[in-house]
Amino acid sequence: MQPSFLVGIITVSDRATAGEYEDLGGPALRLACEDRGWTIGPEAVIPDDIDRIQSALRSFCAQGCGLILTTGGTGIAERDVTPEAIRGLMRVEIPGFGEVMRARSMEITPNALLSRGLGAVVERSLVLALPGKPSGAVECLGFVAAALPHAVKLALREPTSC
């Protein structure tokens, strides 16, 4: 049985927002979610700006997204502020998501050590901050996908077997 939750996808990129290049991360995540049978909800491409990221997160929460995936802004460049935006709204951080994504990604590239991906609960949504590179975003989603249905239920405050 497929999980029944709505997935929102936010691409965080100054350059994609400005039209300097095509957003590839959001569409790659959409396809990965559709391949899992998940229902896609709202999508957005926004700049690397804490206020804009938080506004999008609040909007997606209000639209009933049980899972919100962000792609981009998780590195260490000056404009990479996605983790700070999420932490400014979160009720709780779930360290295991970031730990697993970094550990598994280290098997692919040593630069994974620089990623600040994370999982957190914002309002009643599970939020995952994924890398901006499309392949990295999809790989990291795959590394944690098995835990997502249960985690989303907990974030939504739905009854679980635990």
Token pair in block for residue 102: 């970094």
6-155 sits in which CATH class?
alpha beta
Which pLDDT value is given to residue 101? 98
In angstroms, the CA 126 to CA 17 distance is 24
Torsion of CA 72, 77, 81, 83, to 10 degrees: 70
Domain chopping of the chain, boundaries: 6-155
The string of DSSP codes covering 80-116 is --HHHHHHTT-SEE-HHHHHHHHHHHHTT-GGGGG--
What confidence score (pLDDT) does residue 159 get? Answer: 79
Task: Output the pLDDT for position 161.
Answer: 72
Q: Which of 47, 12, 8, 15 lies closest to 29 in space, CA to CA? A: 8
Give the model's pLDDT for residue 4. Answer: 77
- The token pair at 4 is 């029944």
Q: Please give the chain's pLDDT, 162 residues, in tens.
A: 456 799 999 999 999 999 999 999 999 999 999 999 999 999 999 999 999 999 999 999 999 999 999 999 999 999 999 999 999 999 999 999 999 999 999 999 999 999 999 999 999 999 999 999 999 999 999 999 999 999 999 999 987 776
The pTM is what?
Answer: 0.96
Residue 16 CB contacts under 8 Å (≥ 6 apart), including other chains: 22, 23, 45, 72
For residue 14, the model assigns a pLDDT of 96
